[in-house]
Structure 1
Amino acid sequence: MSTISEGGHPLTVINVFTVTPERQADVVRMLSELTEQTVRHQAGFISTNIHASLDGMRVVNYAQWEGREHLEAMMAVPEARERMRELTQVAASEPHLYEVSRVYQK
């Protein structure tokens, strides 16, 4: 389950994929398959949330990991590397690592 709390844990990865509208569904499918078949089975994985923009031009992957070392270990898995390479042939990828600074809830 996704958790949001202030501080350095968990590690948050926000990856914005820029895509043409006709390929947005492909990127969502590819990310979903990657997550279902490989990513979610890796040590330190907490959650992935995939968002498709209403204009069809972006897909945002919001993921949480127990720590940076877990993310790096997953990225070293050959199947994950190959699927990410395939994804970046369809959409430009802009990943960044974050820690939560503030949380406001109702």
Structure 2
Amino acid sequence: MPQIRDDFDGQTVITTFEVTPGTAHDLLDALTAAWAEVISQQPGFIGGAVHLNDAQTRIATYSQWNARTDYQAMLRTPEMRERNRVINQLCRSFEPVMYEVQSVYNT
């Protein structure tokens, strides 16, 4: 499970996908399978989540990794390269961005 803490020194990746309401659930199915069968099984994976906006025009994923190299290695596996080709066809665009936690606020 991801834990958002300001002392986290691993890699956080937030990916946004631009979709249409007609393809949103197809992409969710592909992402769910990729996360269950490949991504969550990779070395260095800590946790993640998949989100769909109300209009079904955007999907966002959040993942945490022990290191940037762990995330990059996952992307380079033959399985994820093939899955990303399919994912790319189901959306208008997608963009993974690497982030570092700067601050956290809780009640």
TM-score (norm 1): 0.95
Say which SS state the counterpart of residue 74 (structure 2) adopts: helix
Greater Cα shift, 43-52 or 6-15: 6-15
* Gaps in structure 1 of 5+ consecutive residues: none
Alignment identity in percent?
Answer: 35
Counterparts of 1:8 and 1:35, CA distance in 2: 22
Please give the alpha-carbon distance, in whole angstroms, between the structure 2 residues aligned to 1:68 and 1:84: 19
Distance (whole Å) between structure 2 residues aligned to residue 28 and residue 90 of structure 1:
10
Deviations 1:41-74, CA, capped at 9 Å, x for gaps: 1100011200001011010011111110100111
- Runs of 4+ in structure 1 off by over 3 angstroms are none
Shift of 1:7: 4.3
> Does 1:100 find its partner at 2:101?
yes
What residue in structure 2 maps to residue 19 of structure 1? Answer: 19
Q: Which ranges of structure 2 fall in alignment gaps of 5 or more residues?
A: none
Which amino acid is 1:97 matched to?
A: M
How many positions carry a matched residue from both structures? 106
The 2-side partners of 1:47 and 1:27 are apart by 20
CA contact (8 A) 1:13 1:96 kept: yes
Query: For residues 67 and 8 of structure 1, what CA distance do their matches in structure 2 show?
Result: 11
| Residue of structure 2 in register with 1:73 after alignment | 73
Secondary structure of the 2:94 match is: strand
Give the whole-Å Cα distance in 2 for the aligned partners of 1:94 and 1:12. Answer: 14
User: What's the CA shift for 1:20?
Assistant: 0.6
SS in 2 for 1:15: strand
